[in-house]
């Protein structure tokens, strides 16, 4: 059983592809713009962290300069003191000034090495008994910076001891990193930490054991780093990481400052970026809301336009139904409304508004269709009326023609005359029953030439001349007499009327010949002696 296809309104066929296109474009736009916002946010944060790194380098440089100033102060004091042994004065000066410098937070340890690099004197609570900067200081005769993280991270500066132009040893001054960390925290409001890196597996956070010798807000920040270590196993420097802890959003940046000449430590900068992150989220939410409103607005406009187009096409369809172009129905159902057929035409005519008179829309193709349908409808109506009249006329003519044909057939069938049709070369095409019976022509026999059949006497020379002129087209109508032998060998006299019928369309020219048997009349005339 064939089922008719399900009807889907044109408004949905127009609106659904537009819906998919709008949703796809808006989702893609949201994803693209959202990624751009996130990327710009990360770039801004990296720029911010790089600015913090510059501040960190500045703090480190300032710290080394302070240590260098302390060392230079000690050496300058020797030049103004009494003429003691140089090394003895250095020892006594350090021992005398160290408690005061330590109390002021300027110095945490000091040591003196001889020209062989051996420790000869040290004070303080930090371990600087072995320092890799001693030999470079002896060799280059200039201060050498160094940073080392064992149990604690300390920074040192090795200053060569010059006496009378000769190097007599190296003074090493050291200080813990805690003051520098606090200075950086106060300067930038960014938490900072220093951890020893496991060189065998430098990218694995767990391998460090999170051993931060220096870290601001240690308790909280250690939990943040522990959470990060559970989420990310491999890290790389100069990369921004994010983690959510304690309902806050933290940003973590691992690096090694450019002023640090060794890579066995890693520096971490941590900042609470909750406010900026929430601002980014709010911006993305606003973008989503704006795109949703935009898509709804576009879809609403598209639906209204599609409904308008569908309604106008429906009006055209109903109009065509009423004009008989489509299958007629007793009722027309439109969007749940049943319109009686008797009033449908008036309603369709009222709804089928000319676009040139519609103030809401410009003229379009549908308007042209509506106008064309009206014109075609009028033309078809006039043609239908003309066709009806023509059909009646043709039927009357056909009826008259049939009657005339019957009369002609009756006359031809009942006449005693010979009726022949022949071609222009004299070949007999048809002959009626009287001629066939009189001259013994059967259906199987081939029809002879006209002159061979009917012009057999010597008296027919004049008749031959006349019919020859007819064959040549010189005459259209010829009257002539002839004599012919019938089936019994009896000589018969005929009076012929030959009419030339010209060719028309696909029909060729023919000659219609009607022969009147004048034999009895001629016999009577000959017997009475009257001229023929």
Per-residue pLDDT of the chain (532 residues; tens, 9 = 90+): 455 566 677 677 778 888 888 888 989 888 888 888 888 888 887 788 778 778 777 877 888 888 888 888 777 655 444 445 666 777 778 888 888 888 887 888 888 888 888 888 888 877 776 667 788 888 888 888 887 776 677 888 888 887 777 888 888 888 887 777 787 888 788 888 887 766 555 555 655 555 676 788 888 888 888 888 888 877 777 788 889 998 898 988 888 776 665 556 778 888 888 888 888 888 888 988 988 998 888 888 888 888 887 787 777 777 766 665 544 444 444 444 444 444 544 555 555 444 445 544 455 555 556 666 676 777 777 887 878 888 888 888 888 777 766 766 665 555 678 888 888 888 888 888 888 888 888 777 777 788 877 776 666 777 888 888 888 888 888 888 888 888 887 888 888 888 888 765 556 778 888 888 888 888 888 787 665 5
- Is the entire prediction scored with pTM above 0.85? no
191-223 exposure pattern, b = at least 16 Cβ within 10 A, e = fewer: bbbbbbbbeeebeebeebebebbbbbeeebbee
The dihedrals phi and psi of 190, each to the nearest 5 degrees, come to -115, 130
Q: Are 427 and 515 in contact (CB under 8 A)?
A: no
Query: Which pair of structure tokens corresponds to residue 436?
Result: 């066939």
CATH code, 7-147+156-175: 3.30.450
Alpha-carbon distance of 89 to 108, in angstroms, equals: 20
Q: Cβ contacts of residue 258 below 8 Å, gap of 6+?
A: 53, 57
CA angle 211, 215, 218 (to 5 degrees): 90
Domain boundaries, the chain: 7-147+156-175, 190-272, 353-414, 415-528
pLDDT score of 448: 79
147 bridge partner residues: 155
Which residues are CB-contacts of 400 (< 8 A; sequence separation ≥ 6)?
Answer: none
Sign of CA dihedral 171, 177, 178, 183: positive
Domains 7-147+156-175 and 415-528 share a fold: yes
CATH code assigned to 190-272: 3.40.1840
The radius of gyration computed from the CA coordinates of the chain, to the nearest angstrom, equals 63
415-528 classified as CATH 3.30.450.20: yes
Q: Distance between CA 311 and CA 518 in Å, rounded?
A: 85
Residue 426's contacts (CB-CB under 8 Å, 6 or more residues apart) are: 449, 450, 451, 467, 471
């Amino acid at each position: 059983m064939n089922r008719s296809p399900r009807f889907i309104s044109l408004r949905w066929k127009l609106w659904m592809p537009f819906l998919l296109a709008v949703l796809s474009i808006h989702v893609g736009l949201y994803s693209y713009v959202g990624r751009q916002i996130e990327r710009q946010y990360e770039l801004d944060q990296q720029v911010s962290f790089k600015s913090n790194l510059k501040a960190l380098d500045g703090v480190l440089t300032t710290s080394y300069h302070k240590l260098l100033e302390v060392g230079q102060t000690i050496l300058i004091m020797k030049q103004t003191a009494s003429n003691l042994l140089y090394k003895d004065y250095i020892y006594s000066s350090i021992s005398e000034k160290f408690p005061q410098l330590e109390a002021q937070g300027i110095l945490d340890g000091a040591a003196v090495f001889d020209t062989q690099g051996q420790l000869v004197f040290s004070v303080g609570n930090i371990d600087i008994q072995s320092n890799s900067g001693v030999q470079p200081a002896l060799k280059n005769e200039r201060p050498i910076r160094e940073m080392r993280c064992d149990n604690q991270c300390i920074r040192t500066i090795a200053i060569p001891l010059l006496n009378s132009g000769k190097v007599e040893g190296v003074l090493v001054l050291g200080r813990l990193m805690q003051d520098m960390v606090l200075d950086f925290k106060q300067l930038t409001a960014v938490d900072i930490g220093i951890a020893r890196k496991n060189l065998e597996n430098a990218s694995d956070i767990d391998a460090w054991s999170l051993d931060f010798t220096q870290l601001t807000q240690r308790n909280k920040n250690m939990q943040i780093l522990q959470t990060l270590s559970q989420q990310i196993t491999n890290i790389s420097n100069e990369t921004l990481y994010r983690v959510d802890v304690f309902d806050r959003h933290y940003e973590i940046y691992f690096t090694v400052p450019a002023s640090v000449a060794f890579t066995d430590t890693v520096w971490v900068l941590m900042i609470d970026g909750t406010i900026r992150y929430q601002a980014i989220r709010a911006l993305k939410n606003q973008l989503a809301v704006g795109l949703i409103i935009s898509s709804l607005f576009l879809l609403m406009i598209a639906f209204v336009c599609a409904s308008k187009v569908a309604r106008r096409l429906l009006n055209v369809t109903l109009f065509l139904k009423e004009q008989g172009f489509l299958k007629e129905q007793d009722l027309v159902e439109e969007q749940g409304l049943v319109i009686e057929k008797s009033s449908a035409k008036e309603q369709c005519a009222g709804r089928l508004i000319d676009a040139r008179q519609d103030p809401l829309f410009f003229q379009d193709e549908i308007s042209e269709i509506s106008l064309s349908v009206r014109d075609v409808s009028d033309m078809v109506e006039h043609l239908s009326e003309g066709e009806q009249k023509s059909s009646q006329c043709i039927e009357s003519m056909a009826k008259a023609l049939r009657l005339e044909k019957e009369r002609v057939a009756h006359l031809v069938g009942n006449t005693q005359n010979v009726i022949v049709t022949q071609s222009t070369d004299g070949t007999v095409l048809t002959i009626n029953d009287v001629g066939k019976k009189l001259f013994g022509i059967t259906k199987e026999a081939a029809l002879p030439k006209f002159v061979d059949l009917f012009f057999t006497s010597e008296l027919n020379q004049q008749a031959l001349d006349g019919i020859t002129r007819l064959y040549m087209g010189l005459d259209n109508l010829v009257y002539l007499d002839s004599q012919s032998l019938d089936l019994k060998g009896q000589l018969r006299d005929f009076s012929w009327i030959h009419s030339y019928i010209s060719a028309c369309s696909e029909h060729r020219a023919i000659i219609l010949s009607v022969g009147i048997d004048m034999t009895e009349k001629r016999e009577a005339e000959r017997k009475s002696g009257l001229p023929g």
